[in-house]
Structure 1
Amino acid sequence: MYFDGAFQSDRGASRVVFLIPDGGMIPLSFSLTEAFSRNELEYQALIIGLEITQELDLEQLNNFDDFELVIWQLKGIYDVRKDTLKPDNDTTKSYMAQFDDFSLSHIPSRLNSQADALSKLGVLPFNCLHQGPCLSG
């Protein structure tokens, strides 16, 4: 699963892209109604993806993101210093523990382009997606 969070001053978005063994892809993008920091958005993207996987009853899940902080915090390399990130870190770790085989890997941004594009769609104003062309600053 590739995940990513997109930040805009008044809203955020999370996206996940599932690559399945037969070569298929399931892209998902979510607009979030709360204001989150960039770090929180990355956690939210991963949490949403993990919530979806609960319905799939998977034993193995490989995860990829281009944002190092969340990955290193979940691996215990970095401490979680911000109190606002601790609940997301704890939630993510509880989901991680439900898999027999779970991995987190940092990848260059160019390899996370599908998830990145989906998240940018999630921060567009609603009318841009449903009424035609729209310019967003």
Structure 2
Amino acid sequence: MTCEPLFWLLKKVVPTVWNEQCQEAFEKIKNYLIKPPILVPLVPEKLLLLYLITMGIAIGALLAQYLEESRKENVIYYINKKMLAYEEKYSPLEKKCVALVWANRKFRYYMLAFKGVIADHLAHCSPEETEEIQGDFLDEDIMGIEVESWKMYFDGATNQNRSGIGVLLISPKGTHIPFYGRLNFPTTNNATEFEACIRGLQAALGLRVKELEVYGDLALIISQIQNRWKIKEEMLMPYHECLQKWTSKFNMIQYQYVPKM
């Protein structure tokens, strides 16, 4: 992988020596950033493609969409990360599985919103390895979502650099409306979940939705929203009050907990 020589310099046990490989990797990254690929928004009802790569100590994934009209693939999003120390010891097959699970979690709302397929990332596997992996995939009919009314899925995540929220609205006719946002202020995971839920409700009301089923993957937050558990964090109380205000604007609203994928 292009960045691998630079990744090795980050290891404490490796002396910091800038060699020709590091310089070459740096030049490639610089040239890449000068002319980055243009990301395009999703087109509803079109096929999604997921490309995975595992090389050395890093994994990457690219989500694309094939458009028959233009006969080309558009890049939707791409991600990469350095493997954890124990992941580096995995076999090539295990690393591919790690990459698949990681990409599926990162692209969760895209996967829920659009029908997609996985690109042939197993081309370098033996027939026996390919059979082993394919045998573990769930049937696509089991993963289908039966849409009978407006539904909303929300999620929030916080790390040391930033906080992000994601919301997916599904209409009674099956139209998927995903949107994402970044919070430009420091917050906690629980507060981010409340932010995501509140903004999702606001978006639903903006579409004149009056009956809504809401799904979240954090049991604590769902229980607090349902008033089954008390809120002990003082900073979350204004969020709870705000959410209750928006909740009251619906004719019918239900909250349900769904485990993470």
Asked if TM exceeds 0.5, the reply is yes
Question: Which of residues 40, 48, 55 in structure 1 aligns to 2:206?
Answer: 55
Q: Could you say which residue in structure 1 is the equivalent of 2:121?
A: none
Structure 1: 4+ residue segments shifted above 2 A: none
Offset, 1:14: 0.6
Q: Could you say which residue in structure 2 is the equivalent of 1:13?
A: 164
The two structures have a TM-score, normalised by structure 2, of: 0.41
User: What do the CA deviations read for 1:102-136 (whole angstroms, capped 9, x no partner)?
Assistant: 000000112xxxxxxxxxxxxxxxxxxxxxxxxxx
Corresponding residue SS for 2:204: helix
Corresponding residue SS for 1:57: coil
Q: Could you say which residue in structure 2 is the equivalent of 1:29?
A: 180
- Is 1:72 the counterpart of 2:223? The answer is yes
Paired residues of 1:10 and 1:35 also in contact (CA < 8 A)? no
Query: How many residues in Structure 1 have an aligned counterpart in Structure 2?
Result: 110
Letter in 2 for 1:48: R
Percent identity over paired residues: 26
- Is 1:104 the counterpart of 2:259? The answer is no
User: What do the CA deviations read for 1:76-123 (whole angstroms, capped 9, x no partner)?
Assistant: 11101111000000000111111110000000112xxxxxxxxxxxxx
Could you say which structure has the larger radius of gyration? 2
The two structures have a TM-score, normalised by structure 1, of: 0.77
The structure whose RCO (Cα within 8 Å, separation 6+) is larger is 1
5+ unaligned residues in a row in structure 2: which ranges?
A: 1-151
Offset, 1:10: 2.4
Offset, 1:65: 0.6
5+ unaligned residues in a row in structure 1: which ranges?
A: 111-137
Identify, as 1 or 2, the structure richer in helix. Answer: 1
